[in-house]
């Protein structure tokens, strides 16, 4: 696929923890010539480096709560502001209405708008199964069973309402996230403009 370097493109990958956002985000970003920004990865890097943000975020992440909007928005803004044009695939952001509004303002300032919000849909028991596997493979400190359930609730309460927000704007595409990585990738490609 050709890389359209001159045109703004902003794709959001949404879905509950364990839906496969990280894997699909990496492939999609590569295929579409987009920079992948994963707020979870960025935060884990801050924690590993022991930065001020990392020290503020660690306990919150381990508890499965959301890091406060102002910290997340500042972190994303620092990455987006220098991009000309904005060509980005956002993985795990926005997660709250406040973050969604901030993103809209940021993009408007850069003369860009949202291309698509893709929501991966995966059954709950499959999410728990996948996250349990990831806990063994990656040793993430927030992938234990009680935190997994808690994060799924946080997603339902705080992030799922955003799907309506994007649906009302005509940018939401719900994609079946069950099945093989290749199948899901093809489905996502199929809904993107």
The C-alpha torsion from 115 through 25 and 103 to 121, rounded to 10°, is 80
CA distance 190 to 176: 12
Among 16, 17, 20, 177, binds ligand AMP (CB under 6 A): 17
Q: How would you classify the pairing of strands 35-38 and 9-14?
A: unpaired
Name which of 55 and 84 has its Cβ closer to ligand AMP. Answer: 55
Instruction: Determine if 151 is a binding residue for ligand AMP (CB under 6 A).
Output: yes
Name which of 138 and 193 has its Cβ closer to ligand AMP. Answer: 138
Instruction: Determine if 66 is a binding residue for ligand AMP (CB under 6 A).
Output: yes
Site for ligand AMP in 83-142 (CB under 6 A): 92-93, 95, 99, 142
Alpha-carbon radius of gyration of the chain: 16
Shortest reach from residue 8's CB to ligand AMP, in Å: 21
Instruction: Determine if 18 is a binding residue for ligand AMP (CB under 6 A).
Output: no
User: Of 28, 42, 157, which is closest to residue 92 (Cα–Cα)?
Assistant: 42
CA distance 173 to 192: 8
Q: Note whether 61 and 72 are within 8 A (CB).
A: no
Q: Which residues are catalytic?
A: 21, 95, 134, 140, 151
Residue whose Cβ sits closest to ligand AMP: 40
Among 15, 16, 20, 64, binds ligand AMP (CB under 6 A): 64
CA distance 191 to 129: 27
Shortest reach from residue 189's CB to ligand AMP, in Å: 22
Instruction: Determine if 28 is a binding residue for ligand AMP (CB under 6 A).
Output: no
């Amino acid at each position: 696929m050709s890389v359209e370097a001159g045109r703004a493109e902003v794709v959001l990958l949404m879905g509950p923890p364990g839906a496969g956002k990280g894997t699909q985000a990496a492939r999609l970003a590569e295929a579409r010539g987009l920079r992948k920004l994963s707020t979870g990865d960025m935060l884990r890097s801050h924690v590993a480096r022991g930065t001020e943000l990392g020290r503020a975020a660690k306990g919150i992440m381990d508890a499965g709560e959301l890091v406060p909007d102002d910290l997340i928005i500042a972190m994303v803004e620092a990455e987006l502001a220098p991009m000309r044009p904005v060509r980005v695939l956002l993985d795990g952001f926005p997660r709250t209405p406040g973050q969604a509004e901030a993103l809209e303002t940021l993009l408007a300032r850069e003369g860009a708008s949202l291309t698509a919000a893709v929501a991966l849909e995966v059954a709950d028991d499959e999410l728990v199964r996948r996250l349990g596997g990831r806990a063994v493979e990656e040793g993430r400190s927030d992938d234990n069973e009680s935190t997994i359930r808690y994060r799924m609730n946080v997603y339902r309460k705080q992030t799922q309402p955003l799907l309506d927000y994007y649906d009302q704007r005509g940018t939401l595409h719900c994609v079946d996230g069950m099945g093989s990585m290749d199948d899901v990738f093809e489905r996502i490609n199929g809904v993107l403009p």
